[in-house]
Structure 1
């Protein structure tokens, strides 16, 4: 039987901030190849990158999220992070 009430105290674990995998994926251009082969995305354009870069330089917290439920949308954000040189 499963325990529904767990009496262990909460133990905070800070988020992992490593950049190894994201750097590797960006350098090898995996998301571009996948999007071309599986999703049919053949071209892209990043607009208003100066606004994002300015916010990052100012130290603002930025959360980039996809606005559709298709599997291609989260990968397209890789182009934005690559153009802005952030992870």
Structure 2
């Protein structure tokens, strides 16, 4: 499977820039590789799906709908960003 990269920029008040880049890479040595700023985690596709489901349940239940900055960066199916 070829490597594909998907990225968004999130508000990060702890950074001097006020922003953090979140990148997910699929393919390569690990099925899924997630980078949040300088923090990295390799995981299997099954672990990534479990994370997706857990976040998809927890975030709306706790914080409500996704903010505009997040939805405006959503990558359409079949496109890399």
TM-score (norm: length of structure 1): 0.26
When Rg is computed on C-alpha atoms for both structures, the one with the higher figure is 1
Higher relative contact order (CA 8 A, sep 6+): 1
TM-score (norm: length of structure 2): 0.28
Higher strand share: 2
Higher helix share: 1
